[in-house]
Chain A
Amino acid sequence: MNSRRPVFRHPDLPKNDLGYTRKDYEGLDSTLCAGCGHDSVSNSITQACFELSIEPHRVVKLSGIGCSSKSPAYFIGKSHGFNSVHGRMPSVATGANMANKDLLYLGISGDGDTASIGMGQFVHVARRNLNMVYIVMNNGCYGLTKGQDSATADKGSSSRKGRPNPFEAIDLCEMAVQLGAGFVARGFSGDKEQLVPLLKAAIRHKGFALVDVISPCVTFNNNETSTKSYHWIRDHMEATATFDFIPLRQEITANYKEGASQSIALHDGSVIQLHKSDNSFDITKRRSAINALEHHREKGQILTGILYVNETLKDTHDILETTDKPLNALTQKELCPGNQTLQQIFENYR
């Protein structure tokens, strides 16, 4: 938003467990178009991190190129950010994560950045199960170059330019499930009630967590004939089982009828408590997740919520069996084997 936030804050703003207010999780003023879905997503990220009491400086924000990739400047200003090059955020995030496993890695990407130029990197960061939250701000178009269709634009949908998209759409969530991602969810930038807990669960998941957020482009793709408009999404959104995200140490108070709820414990002890409805399916099974996505697609609906969770997977560090200490904190003594060892190595070369 080009309108500036007021500098004044109420002195009694609520504080989280660390004593931070929500303001401590904010970033610079947005320079995106007024009403852009991406700003709502940035807000939800701010809210999720605040509520989870994550130390702002222990967050690393990474992005590629595009409107979405500008967003990391607009939240958690106390953390480091890296606006890399188009479609390459996953590899830069992989390297950063390898260097220090103790930080929270938030990757921000768009549908062009992920589903076209960065498809190769997206696919492989998912199958390596890098411990990160990968947020796609998905608006079905290239905003920064003025509204060309992207690879997630639905077939037949037309942007403000008016020509229906003739190509098949890529469903990043369905793909991520197939690739073996451990956490796959879809949200809508206009539904903060759902998006904030989705993000919180994704943050607490250990391993690769994809959150595909439908985030309408108000300037180029919010017209009546677009399937990525606010209007269309609100009319065609169908949530999977609603859920509560219950962080570690918070007592589970709600009671649900036998068979009407499902609890999934995350790596750190937090719990996702699902409230089942008629639409529900087993989110711990890849096959049922893909079935549900296909089923709703056939009906012209957009399925949102948590689509798939698997808490048993090893992340990249586990797979590579790296030491517990962050690799960027190893001392020279731990890294350099010394001259005596060097001379022993040479014995094999005589």
Chain B
Amino acid sequence: MKKLKSVNDFVIRFANVNGSGSASANNLFAKAIFRLGVPVSPKNIFPSNIQGLPTWYEVRVSEQGYQGRRGGYDFIVAVNGQTLEKDYDDLLPGGYFFYDSTRALSDHFKRKDITLIGMPLTDICNREIENPKLRPLLKNIIYVGALAHILDMEFSVLTDSIAKQFSKKPKLAAPNIRSLELGFNYASSHFPDVCKLSVKRSNKLSDHILMDGNSATAIGAVYGGATIVGWYPITPSTSVVESFDKFTRRHRLDESGKRRAAIIQAEDELSALGIAVGAAWNGARSFTATSGPGISLMNELLGLAYFSEIPVVLINVQRAGPSTGMPTRTQQSDILACAYASHGDTKHVLLFPCDPKECFEMAADSFDLAETLQTPVILMSDLDLGMNDHVCLPMEWDDNRTYRRGKVLDHDLLESMTEDWGRYLDRDGDGICYRTYPGTHPEKGAYFTRGSSHDEYAAYTEDTDAYKRCMERLSKKWDTAKTLVPAPRIKRNDRAAAWGVIFFGTSTYASYEAIEMLDKKGIALDTMRLRGFPFQDEVREFIDHHETLFVIEQNRDGQMRTLLINELGIVLDKLVSVAHIDGTPIDARYISQSIESVLAKTPKGGAA
């Protein structure tokens, strides 16, 4: 048997029971690698449950900086009896299977192509840890200590992390550090040179941070000036609002300690968006955060905001649908539901962040965009981006930047205005009209907002011409939106590529890696990362420039592909769907194999 061998380039998977404290131990391991300057990408694959069901935590260690999922596992820490056999089967040939040897493996476990590392974790816990309540928690810390030896890591990084984590409760640090040592010492004496995977300190990370997308989104909303949040708890979006709450409590208080933010946990998602709409209408920057089932409920208010032109921001942290689906698994499957949310002719501006840095930037920008366009803006994050930690460079805020509040008439502008004002009168020819906030001026600027048909002066109308004028102006505004949403990122291969690849959001990093893998095999591909909807002319030009394009996304039906075909009038066969649908983050090997298999069936030089 040939053992897998590498320095700073492997995937380790932890199989645990949820609610056993494993998440913090596994996080400790991932953070230690990050603190050793090695690019790391942890993915928590967890159940919709509080205690007792299987949960996995994957850590990809990649000196080269690949952040997407690679596919396959080189090392498995198997401490969940329920999934032991499956975990064993999932290990790549040449890999390492670390398990609790307090109970011997049964006869089923017959693989000859892997290395077993058995450590009697339960026995050690029972013997060494007096308090039975602490044993399940510290068992996890013990295996992290053992891994430090097995993977040849600097042990002090772990102990320093514990010290930092418990700096305010030093009493709790001691048993954790002792557990790390228990594991490390046992491994030192029992597993010399057993594993050929190792972690060495690197200089690949400098100023980087390790952050989840939801925190970054929340900080972006703070910096973007959001004050009012209506929300309803739903996985995986909940931590957006919890983080917004935390950061505004720390950084948004007035001199007397009162809050410059109002966060209302509503009775449902209808109300959550209703609150955000009411606040935005009244001149405050507001948002709501939700996921698929919430989007379904919010359709009603999204239509109202679209038609009455209210600049509200919606954060959609997507999860696996349909219906309740898999609440704790990731997908990019609300593309069509969001692009065309609500009845009648509606279209909504979408933003597609691919990492925490873009979560921050796009969240902050979304308020400028919504207020400039006076329409809802939906930030399309997902569970993988929102809830997992990602390595990225720290974001910067330009202190000279000023919020773009859009076309709003204040008291003085209303006072000096001589011409006739109409809320829905398009003076500038860009489809965007001037609005006023309630209470601005005693005599001027009052109007009646409604979701029913209205004329240029906001009066109810059933006049067919007035209705048509309104709908056509909204189309004109949509054209204006094309000039304002973030442009796609296009990378052209040095060799003239006949094929193109299109992806967005959390499919990004695995896609770039897959493109590199294919490039090494002589398959040249140009790439376009979409960052916003509506699509700009550049998107069409990129598609026109290639014979065949692959659209990589994480849903069954190729929703982005459908959207491109529908919006740009693309010939169906020109766009080939590469769809990953199992609810785990898409991986590079899957993408490269999918593209390769399509190209293999293609006549030389031609397109599918």
Binding site for B on A (CB under 8 A): 55-58, 60, 62, 72-73, 77-85, 88, 90-100, 102-103, 120-121, 123-124, 128, 316-317, 320-325, 327-328, 330, 332, 334-339, 341-343, 345-346, 349-350
Q: CB distance A336 to B223 under 8 Å?
A: yes
| Residues in A whose Cβ lies below 8 Å from that of B259 | 320-323
Q: CB distance A83 to B439 under 8 Å?
A: no
Chain A nearest CB, measured from B393 CB (Å):
10
Q: CB distance A94 to B264 under 8 Å?
A: yes
Decide: A323 near B258, CB < 8 A? Known: A57-B442, A85-B301, A342-B397: yes
Q: CB distance B247 to A345 under 8 Å?
A: yes
Q: CB distance B446 to A57 under 8 Å?
A: yes
CA distance A80 to B283 in the complex (A): 13
CA distance A284 to B394 in the complex (A): 57
CA distance A249 to B573 in the complex (A): 78
B271 close to A (CB within 8 Å): yes
Binding site for A on B (CB under 8 A): 35, 208-211, 215, 219, 222-223, 225, 227-228, 230, 247, 251-252, 254, 256-264, 266-268, 270-284, 286, 300-301, 304, 394-399, 402-403, 436-443, 446-452, 460
| Residues in A whose Cβ lies below 8 Å from that of B403 | 332
Could you show 5 A-B contacts with beta carbons less than 8 Å apart?
A82-B448, A95-B279, A330-B227, A332-B225, A342-B395
Decide: A339 near B399, CB < 8 A? Known: A95-B228, A320-B262: yes
Q: CB distance B304 to A84 under 8 Å?
A: yes
Select one of B222, B257, B279, B397 contacting A98, CB under 8 A.
B279
Q: CB distance B258 to A324 under 8 Å?
A: yes
Chain A nearest CB, measured from B344 CB (Å):
13
Select one of A121, A328, A339 contacting B397, CB under 8 A.
A339
Chain A nearest CB, measured from B541 CB (Å):
36
Decide: A342 near B449, CB < 8 A? Known: A323-B260, A335-B225: no
| Residues in B whose Cβ lies below 8 Å from that of A84 | 274, 277-278, 304, 451
What would 8 more interface pairs be, CB under 8 Å, given A84-B274, A91-B275? A78-B443, A80-B449, A95-B228, A121-B274, A321-B257, A330-B227, A332-B402, A342-B223
Q: CB distance B210 to A350 under 8 Å?
A: yes
**In the complex, the 7 A-B pairs of residues with the closest C-beta atoms, listed nearest first:** A95-B278, A91-B274, A99-B284, A95-B279, A99-B282, A80-B438, A92-B278
Chain B nearest CB, measured from A99 CB (Å):
4
Select one of A57, A102, A335, A349 contacting B227, CB under 8 A.
A335
CA distance A121 to B278 in the complex (A): 14
Chain A nearest CB, measured from B121 CB (Å):
30
Q: CB distance A349 to B210 under 8 Å?
A: yes
Decide: A327 near B227, CB < 8 A? Known: A98-B264, A100-B438, A345-B247: yes
| Residues in B whose Cβ lies below 8 Å from that of A94 | 230, 264, 271, 274-275, 278
Q: CB distance B252 to A98 under 8 Å?
A: no
| Residues in B whose Cβ lies below 8 Å from that of A77 | 446
CA distance A78 to B274 in the complex (A): 24
| Residues in B whose Cβ lies below 8 Å from that of A98 | 227-228, 262, 264, 275, 278-279, 284
Q: CB distance A349 to B448 under 8 Å?
A: no
Select one of B219, B256, B300 contacting A85, CB under 8 A.
B300
